[in-house]
A and B are shown apart, each in its own frame.
Chain A
Amino acid sequence: MGKTVVSKGKTVKEAVNIALDLLSVQQNDVDIEIIKNGTKGIFGLGAKPAVVRVTVKERESRVKENPLDAPTLESLAEEALNAEINDGNTNDLAATDESAPPEDDVSGKVWVRDGYIFCKDAPDRYPMVTPGKGMKLYMNGVPVEQTVVISENDVLKVELQDEVQEPDWELKLSDDKMEAILKITPGIRIHKRLKDKSPDYYIQLEVEQKKIPIILQTRLIMDKLKELGVVHGINYAEIARACTSEEAGSFVIARGTPPVPGKHGYFMPVREFDIKKGLKERPDGTVDYREVQEIPSVEPGQVIGMIHPPVPGIPGRTVTDEPVFPPEVRPLAVKEGRGIVLVENGTKILATESGHPNIKIKGQSAIISVAPKLVIGKDVDLKTGNVHYVGDVEIVGNVQDGMLVEAQGHILIRQNVHTAKVLAGSSVIVLNNIIASEITAGKSTLLHAEISRILRRVIEQMKQMALAIHQLTSVSAFKVASFTRTGLGPLLKILYDGKFKSFHSLIAELINKIKSGTDVLEEDWVKFNEQLIRGFLTVHSSHLQSVDDLNRLIDTAEQLYNSIRDAEDDDECVIKARFAHNSRIYSGGDISLTGPGSYHSKLIAKGFIEVDGFVRGGEIYAVKGVKVGEAGTKGGISTKITVPKEGTIRIHKALEDTVIQVGTKMHKFTMETFHVHARLNDNGELMIS
C-alpha cells in the first residue's frame, strides 16, 4: 500500500485536489475513496465538507479510471451529443461511466439521467440493469434481453424508435354540393426516451413517451379545395380548427348558400267556414263545440276569400358556385264550383248563391263552391217525407219517428231526433237530444270501417299466399302445368290445411260483411264479393286459375281498400248533440255531447269523443281519445270505454264496474275512482292515474 491522505473540501473534487497537492502526485496515480459527499447547504449555511481518502497506488497496480473527473464527464457528454446528431434522434447512446454524482454514495449503483445510463463500480457490489419493454439494449454491441451486470467499462446502447402516425384526411363534397366535408384523423409523433432513474443497485429501464401532435398543412387542404373547384362559402377558421384538431372528426369547411324557398299561391278565406276549424282547440287536442249553433254561410255578393299569387324563392349557390334553384312555385288553380264567381283578375271569390261555402284544397288545386242550403221550417215527419239533399240541410223542428234525413253536406237540427236515421257527408249538429236513433257523419260509414279492418288482413294473407305459390313454382319438382287443368283449387285446399288455417273463416267473415251492405255499397264491391266467393269459398271449383288471377284479385282488393281508407276529409266532421239515449252514433271525426251525456248508446268516432256529462251503459270507442265527466251506472248494465293502444281515456269520475280498455289491456273499476287518466306506457302496460 502507498501513502494515504484523508482530506476535506467544499466538494469532493476540492478535497481530492488538496490530497493530490499534499501527496504531490497525479490523479492517475492514486485510488480515491469518497467517505462523505459534501453538501452545499443554503447560502453556505449548514454546509458539510466532502471527505476523501486518497491512497498512492503501488507501482505495479493497474491504471484505473478515476471517477469524479469533470473533464471526463464533459467529453462524454460531448460524445453522446455527437452520437445523437449523427444518428438522428432514433438512438440514444449511453456508456457506463461516471457523471456528476448524486449526493448519496453511488458505489455499485446504476442510474439514468437525461437519456443516458451511468454506473459506478464498487468492489463489493455490481450494478444490474434489465431492459424494458419497447427498447433494444446492446451491451458492447451484443443485444441484451435479460438482466445484466454492468461495469464502467461496458458500452451500453439503447435503441429507441420514435413512432410516427401521419395525419389522414379526406375531403369530400356532399351529394348536393352544398357542403365540403373534411374528415380528419390527426397525426401523432410518439417521442421516446429513457426515463430518468435515481441510483440504485438494480434498475429496470423504462421508456418515457411523449405524444406530439403533427399539424396538418392547411396548404394541402387549400390545394384540394381548388382541385375540387370549391370557391364559395369557404370557412377558413374551420379549416384551421380542423388542421390543428387533436381528435378525429368531420369538419364542414365550406358551406353553400341554400336557396330561399318561395311560396305557392294559396287561398285565404275571409273567415273560417269549416265548422271544426272555426273552433278553438284545447291544449289536449280536443275541440270545444259548445259554440256550434249554426252552419257558417254566405249571402250572394259576399266575398268568400282571396287567392294569393305565388311568391318566387331566391336561388342559392353550391360550394362550387353553381346556382341552386328553389322549388318551383305554382299558383293555386281554382275550379269554380256552383254558387261562386271569380272577380278582380281571379284574385277574389264571391258567392252568387246563399249557403255554406265548400272549400276543398288538394295540393295546388282547389274546388270552391257554395253548397245550397235546404231549410225545413218545421218537423220532418210523414207530411214532409224523408229528406235527401245534395247540400246542407237545416231543420228548425224535430226529426220524427221512422224518418230519414240524408245530406251530402252538413245537417243542423234545432230540436230532437226521435227514432230516426240521420246521414250526413259532413257534420251533424243536433241542438237538443238524440233518442233511439242512428246518426252517421262522414262519408266513410261504420260498415266501411268494419270492412276495412277485415279486408286489410285478407289482403295480407292473399299476398303471403301468392308468395308461397311463387316459391313452389320455382322448385323444379313442382308441376306448374297442372294448374291449367285444375286451377288453384287443390293447392288452396292444402294451404287452408297448413299455413292459412284462419283464412277460410276470415274470408267468410268479409264476404258476409260485404253482403250485409249490398244496398249501400257500390257495384265494385258486389263484383269483388262474387270473385271472393268463387275464388276462395268453393275450393273444388275455384275460379282462380293461376297466380296471375290471384294477383289481379289482390290488386282489386287493394284499390277497394284504399277507396274506403282515404276518407281524408272525414276528420273535419263532427257530431254534436246535448244528449243521446239508446242510439247508435258514428262519426268519421269527433263526437261531442255537451248536455247531460249519453244513456245506453253506442258511440264510435275516428277522432275524439267528449262527453261533458255522464256515460251510463253502452259502449264508447274513439280512435284518438275519450274524455268523459262521469262513467258507469250504480249496478246494472255495463259501461265500456275503449281506445286503441295510442289513445288515452280521461274520466272525471268512474263508477264501480266501469270497464276501460286501451289497446288490448282492459281494466274494470272495483270502486268509485276520480280523475282517471288511462293510457299505455312504453312497455305496453296500462297506466291509470
Chain B
Amino acid sequence: MLKYDIVHRGSKSAVFLDGDMDIDATEIMQEDIAPKLLDSTEIELDFRNVSFVDSTGIGLLISLVKDLRERGSKVAITRLKPDVMQVFCILQLPEILGYDVFEDSVKAQNA
C-alpha cells in the first residue's frame, strides 16, 4: 500500500511517496494526494522509497502531473530508483510529461 507524507513550505510542496505506485494506489493518488496539491505552485514528488510500479500507477502519475501542469504548477519527479527510471524511459515518460519534470533524476543518473 502506498503511503505518503506532504511537507508544505509556502507555495512549495514536497510529497514523499513510500510503497508501490500501482493499481492499489488509485484512491490515495486521486482522492488524497491530488487535492492537497492544488494550492502549490512548485511540487516535488520524491520517489526514493518507491520500488515498484505498474501501468495503472504510471497512468495515475501521468494524469496527476498533467493536471498540475495545466494549472500552471511546476512539477519535478526526483530521486527515482534506477530500475523505476528504466521503466519510465521505456514508456517514454520524459517525452510525454516533459524532460524538465525528470531533470533531477537525469542529473542524478548521469552523475
- Enumerate chain B residues within 8 angstroms of A483, measured Cβ to Cβ: 55
A477 touches B91 (CB 8 A): no
How far, in angstroms, from A476 to B93 measured CA to CA in the complex?
18
Give 1 or 0 for each of B44-86: 1 = CB within 8 Å of chain A CB. 0000000111111111001000000000000000000101101
How far, in angstroms, from A117 to B54 measured CA to CA in the complex?
90
Give 1 or 0 for each of B9-36: 1 = CB within 8 Å of chain A CB. 0000000000010110000000000000
Query: Which chain B residue has the least Cβ–Cβ distance from A478?
Result: B87
- Enumerate chain B residues within 8 angstroms of A485, measured Cβ to Cβ: 23
A499 touches B92 (CB 8 A): yes
A479 touches B59 (CB 8 A): no
**Does A146 make an interface contact (CB < 8 A)?**
no
**Does A555 make an interface contact (CB < 8 A)?**
no
B84 touches A494 (CB 8 A): no
Query: Which chain B residue has the least Cβ–Cβ distance from A495?
Result: B91
Asked whether A477 and B52 contact (CB < 8 A) given A482-B23, A485-B23, A494-B62, the answer is yes
How far, in angstroms, from A243 to B108 measured CA to CA in the complex?
65
- Enumerate chain B residues within 8 angstroms of A486, measured Cβ to Cβ: 23, 54-56
Give 1 or 0 for each of A389-407: 1 = CB within 8 Å of chain B CB. 0000000000000000000
**Does B96 make an interface contact (CB < 8 A)?**
yes
- Enumerate chain B residues within 8 angstroms of A494, measured Cβ to Cβ: 55, 58-59, 62, 91, 96
Asked whether A476 and B62 contact (CB < 8 A) given A482-B54, A486-B55, A494-B55, the answer is no
Query: Which chain A residue has the least Cβ–Cβ distance from B66?
Result: A497
A496 to chain B, nearest CB (A): 10
Interface centre among B22, B56, B81, B90 (most CB of A within 10 A): B90
Interface centre among B20, B57, B87, B91 (most CB of A within 10 A): B91
- Enumerate chain B residues within 8 angstroms of A476, measured Cβ to Cβ: 83
- Enumerate chain B residues within 8 angstroms of A477, measured Cβ to Cβ: 51-53, 81, 83-84, 86-87
A-B contact count (CB 8 A): 66
- Enumerate chain A residues within 8 angstroms of B51, measured Cβ to Cβ: 477
Chain B residues bordering chain A, tally (CB within 8 A): 24
Query: Which residues 456-505 in A have Cβ within 8 Å of B in the complex?
Result: 468, 471-472, 475-479, 481-483, 485-486, 488, 490-491, 493-495, 497-499
A468 touches B56 (CB 8 A): no
- Enumerate chain A residues within 8 angstroms of B23, measured Cβ to Cβ: 482, 485-486
Asked whether A479 and B53 contact (CB < 8 A) given A494-B58, A495-B91, the answer is yes
A493 touches B59 (CB 8 A): yes
A478 touches B53 (CB 8 A): yes
Main secondary structure of the interface of B (DSSP, over half): helix
Interface size class of A (residues with CB under 8 A): 20 to 34
**Does B95 make an interface contact (CB < 8 A)?**
yes
B51 to chain A, nearest CB (A): 6
Query: Which chain B residue has the least Cβ–Cβ distance from A479?
Result: B54
B56 touches A482 (CB 8 A): yes
How far, in angstroms, from A477 to B19 measured CA to CA in the complex?
12
B93 touches A498 (CB 8 A): yes
How far, in angstroms, from A476 to B85 measured CA to CA in the complex?
12
- Enumerate chain A residues within 8 angstroms of B87, measured Cβ to Cβ: 472, 475, 477-478
- Enumerate chain B residues within 8 angstroms of A499, measured Cβ to Cβ: 91-92
- Enumerate chain B residues within 8 angstroms of A468, measured Cβ to Cβ: 90-91
- Enumerate chain A residues within 8 angstroms of B57, measured Cβ to Cβ: 479
Neighbour of A482 across the interface among B55, B83, B90, CB < 8 A: B55
How far, in angstroms, from A475 to B91 measured CA to CA in the complex?
12
How far, in angstroms, from A488 to B58 measured CA to CA in the complex?
13
B68 to chain A, nearest CB (A): 16
B90 touches A479 (CB 8 A): no
Asked whether A475 and B90 contact (CB < 8 A) given A482-B54, A482-B56, A485-B23, the answer is yes
How far, in angstroms, from A573 to B1 measured CA to CA in the complex?
67
How far, in angstroms, from A188 to B98 measured CA to CA in the complex?
67
- Enumerate chain A residues within 8 angstroms of B86, measured Cβ to Cβ: 475, 477
Neighbour of B22 across the interface among A479, A488, A491, A495, CB < 8 A: A479
- Enumerate chain A residues within 8 angstroms of B59, measured Cβ to Cβ: 490, 493-494
Query: Which chain B residue has the least Cβ–Cβ distance from A492?
Result: B55
Interface centre among B55, B86, B92, B95 (most CB of A within 10 A): B55
- Enumerate chain B residues within 8 angstroms of A491, measured Cβ to Cβ: 55
How far, in angstroms, from A495 to B87 measured CA to CA in the complex?
12
How far, in angstroms, from A295 to B91 measured CA to CA in the complex?
60
Ordered by A's residue number, 5 sampled pairs between the chains whose C-beta atoms are within 8 Å are: A471-B90, A477-B83, A486-B56, A490-B59, A494-B91
Sort A-B residue pairs by CB-CB distance and give the 4 closest, nearest first.
A498-B92, A477-B83, A482-B54, A491-B55
Residues of A at the B interface (CB closer than 8 Å) are 468, 471-472, 475-479, 481-483, 485-486, 488, 490-491, 493-495, 497-499
List 4 extra interface pairs beyond A481-B54, A486-B23, A490-B54, CB under 8 A. Answer: A478-B54, A483-B55, A490-B56, A499-B91
